[in-house]
A and B are shown apart, each in its own frame.
Chain A
Amino acid sequence: SQTIHQWPATLVQPVGSPLSLECTVEGTSNPNLYWYRQAAGRGLQLLFYSVGIGQISSEVPQNLSASRPQDRQFILSSKKLLLSDSGFYLCAWSPPGLAAGTQYFGPGTRLLVL
């Protein structure tokens, strides 16, 4: 069976500091991978998605970036965090291919920027 991991679970960072959130998937090959942000009490906003190693599509222009160095690893980064970057960050995977299969979510990372 497939499992998805995210770490850290919680992170408190000062404004202007760098960020690196990691997501890994087990039990599948060449998955589509996604990063979402969820503000308090709101829906999910798609930030980035990837259909393969090194292939990243950005949905929202901001100071965040994503990378996919390995088939089942997806990393969300920032060089300098802003207060507005606070939120709940979710990674998800779906079966490979362009047809949108069901997306399965990880446990999330709660980020607080102070």
Chain B
Amino acid sequence: EDQVTQSPEALRLQEGESSSLNCSYTVSGLRGLFWYRQDPGKGPEFLFTLYSAGEEKEKERLKATLTKKESFLHITAPKPEDSATYLCAANEAAGNKLTFGGGTRVLVKP
């Protein structure tokens, strides 16, 4: 059974304190690994798609990386506006469905 596990469940950071979120996955032939940001009461907002091990993508203070077993979302010098829940999802090669992890709630204090 495909599984996606995110850790930690919650992360409290001081403004400027860099950290990393982990997303480990077990899928049959990864077709894509997706990262989303979700603000309270809103739909997830797409951030990145990674397709192969070694790939990296950046957007402002966020950088996503991918290995054969896991993905990391690095937050560099976070600001309070980076506070949100970050979701990762994996797509297996056999279909067009995404399996989501439980998310990491990030709180950045000024």
- A residues near B, CB below 8 A? 32, 42-46, 49, 51, 59, 88, 90, 92, 94, 97-108, 110
Contact = CB atoms under 8 A, between A and B. Distances in A.
A102 B49 contact: yes
B44 A100 contact: no
Given A100-B31, A100-B91, A103-B34, A46 B97 contact: yes
Contact of B96 (A32, A43, A88, A110): A32
A99 B31 contact: yes
Interface residues of B, number: 22
Contacts, number: 58
B42 interface: yes
B87 to A, nearest CB: 7
Nearest to B43: A105
A46 B44 contact: no
A112 to B, nearest CB: 13
Residue from B41, B96, B101 whose CB has the most chain A CB atoms within 10 Å:
B96
A13 B5 CA distance: 33
A91 to B, nearest CB: 8
B43 A106 contact: yes
Nearest to B46: A102
B31 A107 contact: no
A43 B87 contact: yes
Contact of B34 (A97, A102, A106, A110): A102
Contact of A94 (B44, B45, B96, B103): B96
B98 interface: yes
A108 B43 contact: yes
B46 A99 contact: no
A97 B96 CA distance: 8
Contacts of B42: 107-108
